[in-house]
């Protein structure tokens, strides 16, 4: 294809044969930008297989220099809670190829691809990028291109699971084991979580097929979940659905659980239910031989969730953010 910056060639995604080089680029970026992740070719392949409304040939662009992968970018889109067409981008440039304009060329390509997608939708659209605290060069490039920060997110870490308190459930609630083969049971848990999150930033109502996809995700680990039911009404009142990312633990030689998917329904808030469920979720991770746990929280959460998590032993480790830019069709 056409050479843009000197020595650079952009080409479409070629299929499975590209995954090893893509993983190498991502790993180099994660290490340089202190992102704390590792990617494997199989992990990328599995992720792409789960994406919906996604055509890798049209939605990925590869950047090569003398036949070597220097970087790539991927686009995706969804309707957010305000009815905006949010068009996300995930992009990497290998540290060895930075400061040569390659990231700018990939950004130019992905914005044009997103403008083409927006022309087939009536909704107002925005370019949307999640960036971590360590991606200093990328943030500078995006700001030069007109992106502004719209939200901050706080990764939090509990460095040990050796001192977890025992916190009783409030009166009127009970834990019930999760029956993953019982669709009505799972549906009640899914619907309660989505209802509790309505009004939270970035959370749109579920779409047809979301429930079924949820049950196929690698984070779907019901044996670790802590789900509280309100005894009188028979409804799911609150839940914490931790999971263990075995791949990240193996590749980074750690034993870390993730305390995520935390919600309490509006009628049952401010009773200590979330704190009790978090403590029980930490015990479940400890029982699974984990030695630490992490979670992420919206810095502007209306319920001051970060303070609750701090009281449960978590501490903020960095400050990530979402940047957006209006999309002009």
Domain ranges, ordered by start, for the chain = 8-146, 157-318
Residues 6 or more apart whose Cβ sits within 8 Å of residue 52? 209, 213
> Phi and psi for 269 in degrees, rounded to 5?
-80, 165
- State residue 4's pLDDT score: 67
How far is it, in rounded angstroms, from Cα 203 to Cα 213?
A: 16
Q: What pLDDT, on a 0 to 100 scale, did the predictor assign at position 131?
A: 98
Please state, in angstroms and as integers, the Cα–Cα distance from residue 94 to each residue in 25, 44, 149, 222, following that order. Answer: 5, 17, 24, 37
Report the alpha-carbon distance of residue 302 to residue 114 in Å, rounded: 31
Residues facing residue 9 across a β-bridge: 3, 64
Residue 204's pLDDT is 87
> Are 139 and 33 a contacting pair, CB within 8 Å?
no
Ordered mean pLDDT values, 10 residues apiece, the chain (329 residues) = 73 97 97 92 92 92 96 95 94 96 96 96 95 97 98 97 95 91 88 94 90 94 97 97 95 95 97 97 98 96 90 97 93
Q: What is the DSSP string of 266-312?
A: GGG-SSSHHHHHHHHHHHHHHHTT--EEEEEEETT-TT-HHHHHHHT
pLDDT value at residue 5? 76
For position 304, what pLDDT does the model report?
87
Q: Which two tokens stand for residue 317?
A: 């480790």
Q: Using alpha carbons, select from 176, 172, 206 the residue that is nearest to residue 191.
A: 206
Share of the chain residues as helix, strand and coil, in percent rounded to the nearest 5: 35, 25, 40
pLDDT the model gives residue 293? 98
Asked if 239 and 228 count as a contact pair (C-beta separation under 8 A), the reply is: yes
Between the alpha carbon of residue 5 and those of residues 66, 90, 102, the distances in Å are: 13, 21, 7
Give the whole-angstrom CA distance, residue 109 versus residue 73. Answer: 9
> What are 94's two structure tokens?
């290998």
For residues 216 and 167, is the Cβ–Cβ distance under 8 A? no
pTM comes to 0.92
Model pLDDT, residue 98: 95
Q: How many CB atoms lie within 10 A of CB 231?
A: 12
- Return the H-helix or E-strand segment holding 17: none
CATH architecture type of domain 8-146: 3-Layer(aba) Sandwich (3.40)
* Chain Cα centroid distance, residue 248: 14
Buried b (16+ CB within 10 A) or exposed e, 116-145: ebbeeeeeebbbbbebbbbbeebbebbeee
Pick the CATH number of 157-318 from 2.130.10.10, 3.40.630.30, 1.10.540.10, 3.40.50.10800: 3.40.630.30
Does an H or E element contain 2, and which?
A: none
Rounded distance between C-alpha atoms, residue 258 and residue 291, angstroms: 11
- 157-318 has the same fold as 8-146: yes
Maximum distance among all Cα pairs of the chain, rounded to whole angstroms: 69
């Amino acid at each position: 294809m056409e050479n843009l910056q000197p020595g650079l060639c952009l080409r479409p995604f070629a299929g499975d044969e590209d995954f090893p080089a893509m993983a190498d680029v991502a790993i180099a970026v994660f290490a340089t930008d202190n992102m704390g992740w590792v990617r494997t070719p199989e992990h990328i392949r599995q992720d792409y297989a789960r994406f919906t409304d996604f055509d890798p040939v049209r939605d990925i662009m590869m950047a090569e220099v003398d036949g070597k992968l220097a970087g790539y970018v991927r686009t995706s889109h969804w309707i957010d809670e305000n009815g905006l067409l949010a068009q996300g981008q995930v992009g990497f440039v290998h540290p060895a190829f930075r400061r040569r304009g390659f990231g700018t060329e990939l950004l130019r390509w992905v914005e044009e691809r997103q403008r083409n997608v927006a022309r087939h939708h009536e909704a107002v659209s925005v370019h949307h990028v999640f960036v971590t605290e360590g991606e200093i060069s990328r943030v500078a490039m995006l700001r030069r291109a007109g992106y502004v920060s719209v939200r901050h997110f706080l990764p939090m870490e509990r460095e040990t699971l050796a001192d977890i308190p025992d916190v009783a459930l409030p009166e009127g609630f009970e834990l019930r084991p999760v029956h993953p083969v019982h669709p009505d049971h799972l549906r009640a848990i899914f619907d309660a979580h989505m209802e509790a999150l309505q009004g939270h930033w970035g959370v749109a109502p579920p779409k047809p097929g979301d429930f079924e996809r949820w049950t196929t995700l690698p984070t779907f680990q019901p044996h670790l979940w802590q789900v509280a039911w309100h005894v009188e009404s028979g409804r799911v009142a609150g839940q914490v659905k931790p999971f263990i990312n075995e791949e990240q633990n193996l590749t980074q030689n750690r034993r870390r659980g993730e305390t995520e998917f935390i919600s309490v329904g509006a009628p049952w808030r401010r009773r200590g239910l979330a704190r009790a469920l978090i403590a029980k979720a930490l015990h479940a991770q400890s029982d699974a031989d984990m030695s630490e746990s992490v979670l992420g929280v919206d810095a502007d959460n209306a319920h001051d969730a970060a303070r609750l998590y701090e009281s449960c032993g978590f501490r903020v480790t960095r400050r990530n953010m979402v940047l957006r830019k209006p999309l002009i069709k």
